[in-house]
């Protein structure tokens, strides 16, 4: 049974009519990317885009559509022997604050495309989310429009599309996590592709990530009588020295080399320019390979900190997300790699493939755009990168269909 706030396809959605609409889903996928970017969707403001996606998908007669909050799930129900999941998030990080930044909203083409003319493959689309990850979402929608339309091509596998909210913020707010809690069956599948930017290369699994805060105590005093206090910032020196000397491992998992990292990422301390600080907090991030569980990652970091002299109440585990093994030895994953080509690589950052892995669904990252451009002031993607990704996905899902 679906939860109360889930609208099945046969019912009228409880959400208001969309204020914005998308172009037809058979529009050139690069143009569709620009249209997605132009709908402002910073985290917490995804509703207009979710409305537009829901409206476009509900118009496709061969799809069953469900909405949970601002996450939209569409599925074929062809009764085939296997099911694949194509997932992507709708939200973006906040817009650039630097004057003149290109990676903002609305989008822009360089060189500019005349009305009615399609941008050339080498044309560059600038805008927030072009890389992370409106290009991937456009590929999802283009495939849904093709497969879900009346008289659309027959796939070899049933397909589920997931368009979810709140990926760029705290994990507990993730729309994907909410669906996993409330309607887990919607995410079932034999294999999943997360269309995060990978420059068109299959990236298997992902590193895990965990955060810690180490509190260093001191004694406040007037800086003119510093000998009467204990400087907490100075007290953090052994910790920072240990982190600077730490040698991160490179771990091979199923043939892919994952690089780890343990770093101080933020430090807080001090109250005024004439006061010896009585406390300092150092925030630490650990990126760990998928040979470790989250508990093993915590144990490793706590051991490193203990050797530096910090343990017990001085160390707080703030959060953690598990790693995901590549799963490239699974038949569905091997078939995907063969269809799209290229040499698989490891994913060093954390992505939601880890959530699918926890659900027992092997998953990879594969999408258009350079991940190094995500969240930058000049975030961009080329028209050709998005089109190439779509063709690769069609080669996998619809190998016998004409292009």
Q: List the catalytic residue out of 91, 168, 190, 352.
A: 91
* CA distances (Å), origin 32, targets 73, 127, 174: 19, 13, 25
Bridge partner list, 319 = 211
**Nearest alpha-carbon partner for 245 in 263, 260, 228, 227:** 263
**Cα–Cα–Cα angle for 89, 91, 93, nearest 5°?**
125
Task: Specify whether the CB–CB gap between 369 and 199 falls below 8 A.
Answer: yes
Task: Specify whether the CB–CB gap between 69 and 173 falls below 8 A.
Answer: no
Structure tokens at 284: 């630490």
Backbone angles phi, psi at 260, to 5 degrees: -95, 175
d(CA 322, CA 292): 8
Q: Is the dihedral of CA 193, 198, 204, 208 positive or negative?
A: negative
d(CA 275, CA 269): 11
**Nearest alpha-carbon partner for 69 in 193, 159, 177:** 177
**Nearest alpha-carbon partner for 107 in 57, 40, 18, 169:** 40
Q: List the catalytic residue out of 46, 64, 132, 167.
A: 167
91 is catalytic: yes
Q: Is the dihedral of CA 288, 293, 297, 300 positive or negative?
A: negative
Instruction: Spell out the residues 6+ positions from residue 223 whose beta carbon is closer than 8 angstroms to its own.
Output: 273, 274, 275, 276
**Nearest alpha-carbon partner for 168 in 375, 324, 321, 320:** 375
Structure tokens at 92: 């973006």
* CA 252 to chain CA centroid, nearest Å: 23
d(CA 34, CA 279): 48
* CA distances (Å), origin 17, targets 12, 50, 55, 320, 360: 10, 11, 8, 38, 36
Residues known to be catalytic: 91, 167
């Amino acid at each position: 049974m679906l939860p109360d706030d889930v609208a099945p396809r046969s019912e009228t959605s409880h959400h208001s009519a969309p204020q914005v609409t998308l172009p037809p889903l058979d529009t050139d996928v690069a143009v569709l990317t620009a249209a997605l970017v132009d709908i402002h969707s910073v985290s917490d403001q995804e509703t207009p885009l979710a409305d537009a996606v829901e409206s476009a998908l509900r118009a496709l007669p061969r799809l069953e559509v469900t909405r949970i909050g601002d996450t939209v799930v569409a599925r074929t129900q062809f009764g085939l022997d296997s099911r694949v999941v194509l997932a992507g998030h709708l939200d973006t990080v906040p817009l650039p604050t630097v004057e003149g930044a290109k990676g903002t909203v609305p989008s822009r083409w360089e060189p500019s495309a005349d009305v009615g003319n399609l941008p050339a493959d080498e044309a560059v689309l600038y805008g927030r989310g072009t890389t992370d990850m409106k290009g991937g979402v456009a590929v999802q929608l283009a495939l849904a429009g093709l497969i879900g339309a009346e008289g659309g091509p027959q796939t070899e596998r049933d397909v589920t599309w997931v368009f979810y909210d709140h990926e760029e913020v705290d994990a507990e707010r993730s729309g994907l996590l909410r669906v996993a809690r409330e309607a887990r069956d919607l995410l079932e599948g034999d294999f999943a592709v997360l269309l995060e930017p990978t420059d068109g290369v299959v990236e298997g699994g992902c590193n895990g990530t965990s955060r810690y805060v180490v509190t260093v105590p001191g004694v406040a005093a007037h800086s003119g009588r510093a000998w009467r206090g204990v400087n907490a910032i100075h007290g953090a020196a052994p910790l920072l020295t240990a982190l600077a000397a730490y040698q991160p491992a490179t771990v091979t998992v199923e043939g892919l080399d994952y690089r780890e990292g343990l770093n101080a990422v933020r430090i807080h301390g001090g109250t005024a320019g004439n006061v010896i600080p009585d406390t300092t907090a150092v925030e630490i991030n650990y990126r760990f390979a998928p040979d470790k569980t989250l508990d093993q990652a915590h144990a490793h970091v706590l051991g490193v900190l203990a050797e530096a002299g910090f343990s017990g109440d001085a160390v707080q585990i703030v959060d953690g997300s598990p790693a995901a093994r590549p799963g490239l030895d699974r038949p569905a994953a091997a078939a995907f790699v063969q269809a799209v080509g290229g040499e698989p690589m490891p994913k060093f950052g954390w992505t939601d493939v880890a959530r699918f892995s926890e659900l027992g669904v092997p998953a990879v990252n594969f999408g258009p755009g350079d991940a190094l451009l995500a969240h930058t002031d000049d975030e961009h993607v080329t028209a050709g990168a998005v089109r190439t990704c779509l063709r690769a996905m069609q080669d996998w899902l619809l190998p016998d269909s004409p292009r």
